[in-house]
Amino acid sequence: MPEHTAAADFAALLRELRDRSGLSYGVLAKRLHMSTSTLHRYCNGDAVPADYAPVERLARLCKAHPEELVELHRRWVLADAVRGRKGAAAAETSPEEAGSGTGPGQEASEAAPPAEAASAGAPPAAPVGADTGTSPAPARRRTRTAVLAGIAVAAVAAGVALAVGLPGGGSDGDGDGDGGRHRPVGAAGVTAEGTAPASSSPPSAAASPSSPAKDKGPARTPAGSAPAGAPSGEGQKSGVPVTVRAEPYAWESPCSQRYLADKPASEMKPPPLEEGAAAWVAAHGAVSSGQQYLRLTVQGTGPETVVVDGLTVRVAGKRAPLAWNDYAMAYPGVGCGGGVQTRAFAVSLDSARPSLTPEPGNEDFPFKVSESDPEVYYLTASVSAYDVDWYLELKWSSGDRSGTLTVDDEGRPFRTSGNKGRPAYEFPIGGDGWVPEGTTKLE
Q: Are residues 211 and 81 in the same domain?
A: no
Give the end of a domain, one of 87, 121, 155: 87
pLDDT of residue 91: 56
Q: Give me the domain span that covers residue 194.
A: 188-436
pLDDT beyond 90 at 40: no
Whether residues 243 and 370 share a domain: the answer is yes
Give exposure, 373-407, as e/b (b: 16+ Cβ within 10 Å): ebbbbbbbbbbeebbbbbbbbbbbbbeebbbbbbb
Contact 73, 59 (CB under 8 A): no
Cβ–Cβ contacts within 10 Å for residue 413, how many?
24
Query: Of the given ranges (40-44, 253-257, 318-322), which has the lowest mean pLDDT?
Result: 253-257
Residue 156, C-beta contacts closer than 8 angstroms, at least 6 positions apart: none
CA 333, chain centre distance (Å): 31
Measure the CA dihedral 104/108/114/116, to 10°: -120
Residue 412 contacts residue 218 (beta carbons within 8 Å) = no
SS3 3: helix
Q: What is the mean pLDDT of the segment spanning 373-384?
A: 94
CB atoms under 10 Å from CB of 263, counted, come to 14
228 against 372, higher pLDDT: 372
Distances in Å between the Cα of 55 and the Cα atoms of 61, 69, 245 are 10, 9, 17
**Mean of pLDDT values over 389-395:** 97
324-362, pLDDT tens digit by residue? 999 998 766 555 555 545 789 999 999 999 999 999 888
What pLDDT sits at residue 34? Answer: 83
Domains contained in the chain, number: 2
- Between CA 170 and CA 164 the distance in angstroms is 7
**Among the three residues 26, 59, 87, which one is the final residue of a domain in this structure?**
87
pLDDT winner (highest mean) among 83-97, 132-146, 260-274: 260-274
Structure confidence at residue 131 as a pLDDT band (50, 70, 90): very low
pLDDT band at 30 (very low <50, low <70, confident <90, very high): confident
Whether residue 309 is contained in a domain is answered as yes
267, 400: one domain: yes
In a domain, 74, yes or no: yes
**Assigned domain for 405 exists:** yes
Q: How many CA atoms lie within 13 A of 41 on its CB side?
A: 10
Q: Compute the mean pLDDT over every residue in the chain, rounded to the nearest whole number.
A: 72
The answer to whether residues 193 and 77 belong to one domain is: no
Look at residue 143 and tell me if it is in a domain: no
pLDDT, tens digit, 9 for 90 and up, residues 222-267: 443 333 333 333 334 357 899 999 999 998 876 779 999 999 999 9
DSSP 192-243: ETTS--S-SSPSP----TTS------S--PPTTSPPTTPPTTHHHHHT--EE
In this structure, is residue 132 part of a structural domain? no
Distance CA 205, CA 102 (A): 54
What does the pLDDT average to over 259-281? 94
* Structural domain includes residue 319: yes
Residue 164: strand, helix, or coil = helix
Instruction: Check which CATH number belongs to the domain holding 53 and give it.
Output: 1.10.260.40
Does 83 map to a domain?
yes
- The percent of residues in the chain predicted with pLDDT above 70, rounded, is 60
Helix (H, G, I), strand (E, B) or coil at 316: strand
Contacts of 237 (CB under 8 A, 6+ apart): none
How high is the pLDDT of residue 92? 54
Angle at 303 between CA 295 and CA 363, to 5 degrees: 40
* Cβ atoms 248, 294 nearer than 8 A: yes
Domain boundary among 38, 62, 87: 87
Task: Give exposure, 307-319, as e/b (b: 16+ Cβ within 10 Å).
Answer: bbeebebbbbbbe
Predicted confidence (pLDDT) at residue 196 exceeds the cutoff of 90: no
Could you count the other beta carbons within 10 Å of the beta carbon of residue 190?
29
- Tell me if 404 sits within 8 A of 191, measured CB to CB: yes
Q: What is this structure's pTM?
A: 0.57
- 265 and 396 in one domain? yes
Distance from C-alpha of 190 to C-alpha of 196, rounded to nearest angstrom: 9
* 380 and 236 within one domain: yes
Q: Do 51 and 195 belong together in one domain?
A: no
Q: Is residue 70 part of a domain?
A: yes
pLDDT at position 388, please? Answer: 97
Give residue-wise pLDDT tens across range 401-419.
999 999 999 899 999 999 9
Return the DSSP state at 64: -
Residues 194 and 81 in one domain: no
Helix %, strand %, coil % of the chain (to 5): 30, 20, 50
Which 3 state secondary structure label does DSSP give 55?
helix
Q: What is the pLDDT of residue 13?
A: 92
